[in-house]
Structure 1
Amino acid sequence: MNPEIARSVDAAGLRTNYHDLGQGAPVLLIHGSGPGVSAWANWRLVMPELARRARVIAPDMVGFGYTERPPGFAYGMDAWVRQAVGLLDALDIERTDLVGNSFGGGLALALAIRHPARVRRLVLMGSVGVPFAITPGLDAVWGYTPSIANMRALLDIFAFDRGLVNDELAQLRYQASIRPGVQESFAAMFPAPRQRWVDALASREADIRRLPHETLVVHGREDRVIPLATSLTLADWIPRAQLHVYGRCGHWTQIEHAARFARLVGDFLAEAAADEPHPLAD
């Protein structure tokens, strides 16, 4: 009965929990890296709307949610890209639209660079992927240690609208963060000093500038986790990019402006036909 647990498939050797809704051209949603996060927690408000006109696939990346956590697993961009491509292969998806949130944006960017023919259109929301000095907010997110108070403080950082942050949500995310193995894998991914993990999630400028994909870059103006400047840089470097900035919005664009975000992304992905020719080959 847990809504976070959906289907399961072997993706590049990892038993991966994923949601699969709707019909039509596929769109892969990649979540962020907050403590206790899962695909469902990240995308629950927008998946049903996007699924009205597309096949929406939202996996738990290894180290997060209900995907298996192999002992001693080497977390990093190579492993996450391999898992994402393995999921597409397992589902017989040759080419997908790709939406990445924060950490997931950096992963989406890396996947598009390494496997450009597997991606049709790209959406990067509050994304990492370019160099920036780590913010106090992101350092607090990655440095989280489990407690209700710490989780409540993080939720206050994520949202501009404090009305979205209540004790029930803090309790739910706290409980998710203390499931067996969750904090151990989370702590193993981003140990201090954490600037190096910002750098590790970044792609090379030259590679970003060569991206051929139509790209939508989205950011909250009041984001205290990932600075707006990262999206300004991405919109500048990606040749076929457009930028949308939400005012009165923190790091939770897909939650704070869920309906608007779903319409914006849905319209952007619907602009081109699903059988649009590949921009290039691998």
Structure 2
Amino acid sequence: MTAADMGAANPALGRRVTAGGVDTNYLEAGGGDATPVVLLHGSGPGVSAYANWRMTIPVLAKSRRVLAPDLLGFGYTQRLESHSYTMESWVAHLVEFVDSIGLSSFALVGNSFGGALALHMTTLLPDRVRRLVLMGAAGVPFAITEGLDEVWGYTPSVPAMRRVLDYFAFDRELVDDDLAEARYRASIQPGFHESYAAMFPAPRQRWLDSMVVDEEKIKAIRCPALIVHGREDRVIPLKTSQRLSQLIPDAQLHVFGQCGHWTQIEHAGRFSALVDSFLNEGDHADN
């Protein structure tokens, strides 16, 4: 089977670029002169850019170039035995990624762990990040929740995956045995769990603390920010987004009711429309 055949068989396989010496898988769609947007996925077991953003990409791609990488240690990006999984290594890989594909400026959308990464990137590259969207984001201090501890402590089995998915979704109809089986299968592909288990070993509060961005750096963010959270989120508490909205000078907070940690899936249409409108506002303001 050729690489093209594999891509056709598996929609999570996209384009490849070498970023910091790492063969990196990423999805790309859309185009045009609008500010491109980079989507950063979360840290659930078996996650990939496709799993997180499959419903969001087609909407945003109508007006701009959309790029969604599999971050270091996740999805179909190359795994190396020498990799250490720290916020510094994730940031370094992402900087190399945007440089390798030639993005001089861009918007960022970060989900959960990806939200913390987006915060770090925005404070590191303030002249390049034009707009920031944080969805159920980490990045400010909080005590680890039971849900996040379950997610990061996942040991592969269908029942364990079902428990993880139960924490993610408010809408119980979204979580069934078929979805749990599919996500379990994704989590046990070669190399997937080995890298995942190396990222967040117990005690896990330390890894959450390592994602925190200094409040003074957050206060210094000057690009507009849209902060989104599910009211019933049991993985990342709503108070984190409330705090971020207080710290970032030009921020707006949107809370989805009857929504857990899966805003982009549970309220896919409304979430994508909200983000698309926010990004379009930035392009109009620049013209």
Q: Give the one of 169, 179, 197 matched to 2:189.
A: 179
* CA drift at 1:181: 1.3
Among 259, 269, 272, the residue aligned to 1:262: 272
Q: In the TM superposition, what are the counterparts of 1:199-214 in structure 2 within 5 Å?
A: 199-214=209-224
Residue type at the aligned position of 1:160: F
- Displacement of 1:50 in angstroms is 0.9
Given residue 151 of structure 1, which amino acid in structure 2 is its aligned partner? Answer: M
* Deviation, structure 1 residue 72: 3.2
2:95 matched residue in structure 1? 85
SS state of the match for residue 66, structure 2? Answer: strand
Amino acid at match of 1:72: S
1:118 is matched with which residue: 120, 123, 128? Answer: 128
**CA deviation map 1:189-236 (0-9, x unaligned):** 000000001100110011101111100000000000000000000000
Residue in 2 that maps onto 1:15:
23
Distance 1:244 1:104, change over 3 A: same
Cα separation, partners in 2 of 1:75 and 1:274, compared to 1, 3 Å: farther
Q: Which one-letter code corresponds to 2:235 in the other structure?
A: V
Residue 188 of structure 1 is aligned with which of 187, 194, 198? Answer: 198
Identity %, equivalent residues: 58
Q: 1:46 is matched with which residue? A: 56
Deviation string for 1:33-53 (max 9, x for gaps)? 000000000000111011111
Instruction: List per-residue Cα deviations over 1:20-63 (Å, max 9, x = no partner).
Output: 10013210000000000000000001110111111110000011
1:249 to 245, 253, 259: 259
Amino acid of the structure 2 residue aligned with 1:182: F
Which residue in 2 is equivalent to 1:99?
109
Structure 1 unaligned segments of length 5 or more: list them: 278-282
- Alignment-derived partner of residue 220 in structure 1: 230
Alignment partner, residue 62 of structure 1: 72
Output the TM-score relative to the length of structure 2: 0.95
3-state SS of the aligned residue for 1:72? coil
Letter of the 1:133 partner, please give it: A
Aligned residue for 2:130, secondary structure, equals: strand
Give aligned pairs, total: 277
Q: CA deviation at 1:275?
A: 8.4
- 1:131 matched residue in structure 2: 141
Q: Which residue of 2 aligns with 1:158?
A: 168
Q: CA RMSD in A?
A: 1.1
Q: Distance in 2 between matches of 1:65 and 1:172?
A: 14
Decide whether aligned partners of structure 1 residues 84 and 275 sit closer, same or farther in structure 2, where only a CA change above 3 A counts. Answer: farther
Amino acid at match of 1:238: I
C-alpha deviation, 1:267, in angstroms: 0.2
Of 75, 82, 85, 1:72 maps to: 82
Give the unaligned 5+ runs of structure 2: 1-8
